[in-house]
Each structure stands twice: as C-alpha cells, then as structure tokens.
Amino acid sequence: MYKQSNKHMKKIILFPAIILCFCQAALAQTNTMYDVVLVGGRVIDPETKLDAIKNVGILNNRIAQISSEPLKGNEMINVSGLVVAPGFIDMHVHGRSNTEQEYQLHDGVTTALELEWGIEHLGKWYASRQGKALINYGASVCWPFERFLALDKYKSDVNALEQVTIKGEAGLRKLIETISPSYADTLSESESNRVLVNIETSLSDGGIGIGVPIGYLPKTKPGEMYSVYKLAGELDALIFSHVREPNIISIQEVIAVAIVADAPLHIVHINSMALGNIQLALDMIQAAKHKGFDISTELYPYTAGSTLLQSALFNDGWQEKMNISYGDLQWESTGERLTQKSFEAYRKTGGTVILHSMKPEWIKTGIAAPGVMIASDGMPYAKLAHPRTAGTFSRVLGKYVREDKVIDLNTAIEKMTLLPAKRLEGIAPMMRFKGRIQVGADADITIFNPDTVFDKATFEKGLEFSAGIEYVMVNGKFVLKNGKTVNNVFPGQAVYGKFKK
C-alpha cells in the first residue's frame, strides 16, 4: 500500500497562536473601536462549523472579533438577513486583468489564481500587478513556457512575450500562440535539465506549484512528463494537471505518475476530463486519497467547456474523444454554432470556442461528491465569453443549493472557501489565513442573500454581473457595496508560493 510521506503531513501552527493573541486582546479591550462592524448577519465558518447570527469586527486587514454582543465601529454595516461567508477562492482562472476581476468580485470571489496553465515571466508578472488588483491574485509556474524558454531557437519570441507580459497585456491566447511551435520539439538531455532549472527559478519568484496542462501538449514523451513530476515530488511542489485527453485512461496516467514520483497532485475540471466516467474518476481519486496519496480535484457547474479552437485538443479525432460534433461547438465571437466549413475556417484564424459536451447529471454527480472543490476555469473577457467567467459561484448557490438541493449551503461554502484554502496552504502558507471566518483570519469576506443569489451570465447573451452578492471585502477593504463596485480601491494582494525568495 502506498504510504503518504511525512512531508505531506506537515502542519502549520501559526494560525492558532494568532487566534489566541486576538482573543486575548478582544477580552482585554471590550471597548475596542473596530474599523468596520458587520451587524447581525448569519455568519458561516466551514472549519469551526459556526452558523449563527453574529456581529463581526474588522480591524486593519483582519477579523478581530466575532460576537453575539454589540460591537462599536467607525463603519457599521447592517447585514441582517444576509450570509457572512469567507471570500470565495477560485483556483482556476485565466483572465489576468481587473476587467475579469470585477466580474469575479461580483460573483463573491476574493482570491483568483491561475494554477492550471500558470503565467510566463512569473516574477515580473507579480510585480506588474502590485497595487493594481481588485482582489487577491497569484499563479503557478507555467511548465509549457519554461519548456519553451529552454530552447535557444525561440529566444526572440521569449523576449517579445516578456514585454507584453510586464505591461499587463499578455493573456492565455497570446501565450499559447507564441509557444505552440515548440510543442513538436523533442528535448535533448541538456534542454530537459534546463526546463527543470527554469521551473525552480520561477518557483523562487513565487510560483504556487507547477501548472502542467499536458492536454495542450499531448505528444509530450512520458519520460519528459515524469521528470517534471519527479522534481515536484522532490520539492513537495503541488502539480496542477490538465490530463492528456478527456478520458479515464489519461486520468489513470496522471495518478500513476504522481504516485510513482511522490508528487502532490490536483486534477483540474474533472467534469470535462472524465465526461461520462465522472463517477469512476471520482472513485479512483477517493481510493488514492484513502491510501494516503495527496490528491484533489475540482469542477465548474456548467455543461460546457471553453478553449482555443487552434489548440491540440481539436486535432484529428476530437469528435470521437469528446463524443461531440461541429454543432456542439459555439464560436465565442458571434455565438453561432459551427459547421464543418466554419470549423475549418475558424481553426485557421484562431479564437475561442465553447464546447457543449457534458450532461447535467454529470455535473450534479461532481458537485455532490465529498471533497470536490468549485473552480471556474474562467476565460479572458469577451462579450460572449463562457458564463463561468462571471457566474460560477453564484450558480452553485442559486441552482445547486437553493433550487436543485444537490448540496446544502454550508457544504457549498466549504467547497468554495475552506477546501481550496486548505489544499493550497502547504504550497502557499498565507492561504492558512483565508477561507475562514475566524478571529485572526484575513478579512476576505463575501456577504450574499441566499434567497436571491444567482448567475445572470448566459451562453446566449454573454457576461453579466451575478445577482445577490451584496458586499465583498478584500483584506479589510470593501470592493463591493450594496451590489456595486467601489471605485478606485485596489486591496488585492499577491499570493506567493512557499519557495519565494
């Protein structure tokens, strides 16, 4: 039987000590004047199982008091009838700018991380966002880019991409289009070693683990893939993996490689990777977890995915692999369904397509499964972008909690807050202070109306802010008040990996 290594058993003990200090201060200073007091809300903390009407005192950027007694504050906000929850944590987003972040905060998100693909020139990207972000941000190391960087013949492309990245203008499409010529290259031994050095360098720049979207580089040799996992195992660096193909065999592949390499593994969007085999995939993940293996997964609450039509996912045989055809593809720019003729034309020009490839019961299965996190896989902004970009978390609360009753409210909040925070705190220690409504936790707080919250973005009409999210605080500052964005406030902070130097 596979035994979990001691490195995966480490516990962070700083947080309880901070809670104790805050509690002692609160007892000693009963007349504290808080910066903000949230009055009379239904406070839900998924870790302590608190679910009660309480007053919450915010001091600086932390939760300083949770009490049934009246509190005094410079700003008193009446939140009676509303749920006071930890800010939602999205582990899987692709939009990098405040345009996407505004949609996310209207969906209750306080921390948005690009962990599937990661970001190129990572240290410089982090620096480019400092003091400019609406919500917290961070990214993994981009293995495809570090691989590209290891090949001398692409040096000019690397330099060109760097300039647009640090200006905040680069995005996932630009990244993929720039580095895609390298996907066919077989690496020499020295180039393979350079890839690993590049990964470690980007980890020291703050990368939150390693993004390995091998589904976009499906011809990658097993030995090359193993070397990346082996490095992750040696460093105890979490791997975020898009599997090679949307089938159960590819899911078995990443689980097997990770176990052999002793690398912690997170499989992204299990719904679109497993398709009709989602229960089997979840059973395999759960079995590996029960044997002590460090593994997790996520899904988004929609029956369609979205990606670039020019990517390797649409190489010959895509219809059989995903059990869909041209009419199941929707062109983002126009909303039209594709034909063979338009598919061939748009694949040459490139652009984003929405794939209607899943059944509602598959999504319900994933949402109901214990331990499965919610993550949006939100796309860069476009008028008709996939609605998950704006509505993922509100959709879970409105459709799958209130309407369909697939899970209860407390479980949904846990899947959107505590579970991702706990999954990440080993690789990004500051996440220990997020995903919780506790004294000493970061004041990342989402306040919503459980009776009215729902996603308004649709496949037909495009992006729209969600309804029912009334207040959002990030690091003790309001970025959303009475359902409206607070202008010229940028409290978002960088979330770094543990290897940051």
Q: Token pair for residue 98?
A: 């405040």
- With a CB cutoff of 8 Å and minimum separation 6, the contacts of 497 are 138, 140, 203, 206, 207, 208, 209, 237, 427, 428
pLDDT, mean of residues 216-242: 96
- Is pLDDT of 308 > 90? yes
Alpha carbon distances (Å) from 8 to 77, 236, 267, 291, 425? 41, 8, 17, 13, 11
- Residue 7: how many other CB atoms lie within 10 Å: 14
Amino acid 164: pLDDT: 78
Ramachandran bin of 269, using left for φ above 0, alpha for ψ from -120 to 50, beta for the remaining angles: left
Pair 174, 241: CB distance under 8 Å:
no
Query: What pLDDT digit, counting tens, does each position of 279-289 carry?
Result: 999 999 999 99
Q: Token pair for residue 419?
A: 């579970």
Pair 375, 300: CB distance under 8 Å:
yes
Q: Token pair for residue 395?
A: 């959709």
Amino acid 206: pLDDT: 98
- Is pLDDT of 447 > 50? yes
Q: H helices within 43-171, ranges in order? A: 98-105, 122-129, 143-149, 155-166
Please give the mean pLDDT across all residues of the chain: 93
CA distance 328 to 304: 9
Pair 496, 485: CB distance under 8 Å:
no
Query: What pLDDT digit, counting tens, does each position of 46-100 carry?
Result: 999 999 999 999 999 999 999 999 999 999 999 999 999 999 999 999 999 999 9
Amino acid 393: pLDDT: 98
Q: Phi and psi dihedrals of 2, rounded to 5?
A: -70, 130
Q: Token pair for residue 453?
A: 């919250």
Amino acid 236: pLDDT: 98
Amino acid 21: pLDDT: 52
Quick one: which of 324, 304, 351 has its CA closest to 459?
A: 304
Alpha carbon distances (Å) from 155 to 161, 203, 244, 277? 10, 21, 27, 42
Q: Which amino acid is present at 65?
A: Q
- CATH number for domain 86-304+357-428, candidates 3.20.20.140, 3.40.50.12780, 3.20.10.10, 3.40.640.10: 3.20.20.140
Q: Looking at 243-372, which runs of residues are DSSP E strands?
A: 265-267, 295-299, 304-308, 329-331, 352-356
Ramachandran bin of 317, using left for φ above 0, alpha for ψ from -120 to 50, beta for the remaining angles: left
Alpha carbon distances (Å) from 21 to 25, 55, 440? 6, 19, 8
Ramachandran bin of 445, using left for φ above 0, alpha for ψ from -120 to 50, beta for the remaining angles: beta
Q: H helices within 64-188, ranges in order? A: 98-105, 122-129, 143-149, 155-166, 172-179
CA distance 361 to 369: 12
Percent of the chain with pLDDT over 70: 94
Query: What pLDDT digit, counting tens, does each position of 180-195 carry?
Result: 989 988 899 999 999 9
- Which segments of the chain belong to CATH 3.20.20.140? 86-304+357-428
Query: What pLDDT digit, counting tens, does each position of 138-180 carry?
Result: 999 999 999 999 998 898 888 888 877 777 667 888 888 889 9
Query: What pLDDT digit, counting tens, does each position of 323-353 carry?
Result: 999 999 999 999 999 999 999 999 999 999 9
- Looking only at the bridges linking them, the beta strands covering 352-356 and 265-267 are unpaired
For the chain, how are helix, strand and coil distributed in percent, rounded to 5?
Answer: 40, 25, 35
Amino acid 22: pLDDT: 54
296 exposure class (CB count in 10 Å sphere: 0-12, 13-18, 19+): buried
Rg (CA), the chain: 22
Query: What pLDDT digit, counting tens, does each position of 258-267 carry?
Result: 999 999 999 9
Amino acid 29: pLDDT: 45
Pair 350, 308: CB distance under 8 Å:
yes
Q: Token pair for residue 64?
A: 């300083």
CA 483 to chain centre: 23
Alpha carbon distances (Å) from 316 to 310, 312, 320, 337, 379? 12, 9, 9, 19, 25
Buried b (16+ CB within 10 A) or exposed e, 332-371: beeeeebeeeebeebbeeeebbbbebbeeebbbbbbebee
Q: Token pair for residue 8?
A: 């995966």
Ramachandran bin of 344, using left for φ above 0, alpha for ψ from -120 to 50, beta for the remaining angles: alpha
Query: What pLDDT digit, counting tens, does each position of 1-44 carry?
Result: 333 444 443 333 345 545 555 554 444 446 899 999 999 999 99
Please name the residue that has the structure tokens 């500051």: 430
Q: Token pair for residue 150?
A: 């290891």
- Is pLDDT of 114 > 80? yes
